[in-house]
């Protein structure tokens, strides 16, 4: 957006992962049900017969690992785009 002279925008979304068999987390307080987590990356390691592990990397050194029966993930926007508070696009190093 910034390269095209448009304002940098954000949108809040909900990530739904189906067919989850096991959840592990680090740096996430599961008691805080209304907290908004900032997702930085998603990776998938396939297992046998369509199973696998989804790793979610969160801002602030948080992480969530999901053992899944199948890869079934939906990402849905739940707000309209709004102006990014920083007015800058994030810069993340390539991994």
pTM of the complete model = 0.81
Supply the range of the domain harboring residue 31: 15-78
Tell me how far CA of residue 91 lies from CA of 33, 34, 56, in angstroms: 29, 27, 19
Residue 92, in any domain of the structure: no
Residue 63 is assigned to a structural domain of this protein: yes
The domain tally of the chain equals 1
Question: With contact defined as beta carbons under 8 Å apart, do 65 and 92 qualify?
Answer: no
Say if residues 76 and 17 touch (Cβ distance below 8 Å).
no
- Grouped pLDDT means (10 residues each) for the chain, 95 residues: 75 95 94 90 94 95 96 95 83 68
Q: Is residue 48 part of a domain?
A: yes
| 24 in any annotated domain | yes
């Amino acid at each position: 957006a910034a390269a095209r002279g448009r304002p940098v925008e954000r949108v809040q979304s909900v990530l739904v992962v189906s067919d989850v068999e096991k959840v592990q987390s680090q740096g996430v307080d599961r008691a805080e049900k209304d907290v908004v987590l900032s997702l930085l990356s998603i990776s998938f390691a396939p297992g046998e017969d369509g199973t696998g592990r989804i790793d979610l990397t969160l801002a602030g050194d948080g992480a969530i690992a999901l053992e899944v029966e199948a890869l079934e993930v939906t990402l849905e926007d739940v707000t309209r785009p709004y102006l990014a508070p920083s007015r800058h696009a994030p810069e993340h190093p390539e991994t």
